[in-house]
Amino acid sequence: MTLHSVAMQQALDQLQAMREAVRPEATPSVGKLHGPSTQMLAPGSQAPAVQQPSFLDTIRSAIDSVNQQQSLSSNLQTAYARGEDVSLTDVAIAMQKSSVAFEATVQVRNKMLEAYKEIMSMTV
């Protein structure tokens, strides 16, 4: 594998992990509904409450993750420029990761703004 394909694979893995973190876990799949671990609730009892992260918490954690990627990239660039023992490939990969994370964040922001504009233009 080339350096470019390795960096892209790592970025895709990171995006997939972020997507999995955002997906609600309370939504069971079809296989989970009929499995042996399904428990019947007594009449009148409620299912245990599962604490789901709010949309704000999810967005905040995603932005914090992008910020960490960018600061790591910046720190590695500075260390490499000083002549410290930092591999050029590590610097390039960190720069690529932060770039991809930032671009993904910008795309999410753009989609949110489009959705907001569409909702605001609806007639009631």
> Each residue of 30-80: pLDDT tens digit?
444 444 444 555 555 566 667 888 888 888 998 999 999 999 999 999 999
In this predicted structure, what is the pLDDT of residue 30?
Answer: 45
In which band, very low, low, confident or very high, does the pLDDT at 124 lie, cut at 50, 70 and 90?
confident
**Secondary structure percentages of the chain, helix, strand, coil, to 5:** 70, 0, 30
The pTM score is 0.56
Does residue 76 contact residue 93 with C-beta atoms inside 8 Å?
A: no
pLDDT score recorded for residue 55:
84
